Amino acid sequence: MKEKFVVIDSKDNVATARTEVDSGTLFIADDGSNIKAKSHIPFGHKMALRDIRKGEPVIKYGQRIGIATQDIAVGELVHTHNLSGERGMAR
């Protein structure tokens, strides 16, 4: 997985693509589980490492970056269509 995705912290529930990833590509996560990309993941975009429920925080690099606006299944692209970013917002 390390050659295709960056995962910095054990709390992360998303991984960042280091290259473009085709739908259906299978990865072995650091914990040994299998993750299949459910859609095309563009370079620099995020993929869910586990199921993320609507309203749950999205964690990248050990930091909360936003809230899931809908349920996100493991292997799905995580982007503006299913994530409300919190960058620059007061909490």
69 touches 77 (CB < 8 A): no
Domain residue spans of the chain? 5-85
Class level of CATH domain 5-85: mainly beta
Could you report the per-residue pLDDT of 33-87, keeping only the tens digit for each?
899 999 999 999 999 999 999 999 999 999 999 999 999 999 999 999 999 987 6
The one-letter amino acid code at 90 reads: A
Structure tokens of 71?
């349920």
Query: Which positions ≥6 away from 74 have C-beta within 8 Å?
Result: 35, 48, 49, 50, 51
Q: What confidence score (pLDDT) does residue 28 get?
A: 85
Structure tokens of 7?
């995962």
Could you report the per-residue pLDDT of 18-30, keeping only the tens digit for each?
999 999 999 888 7
State the burial class of residue 40 (Cβ atoms within 10 Å of its Cβ: 0-12, 13-18, 19+): middle
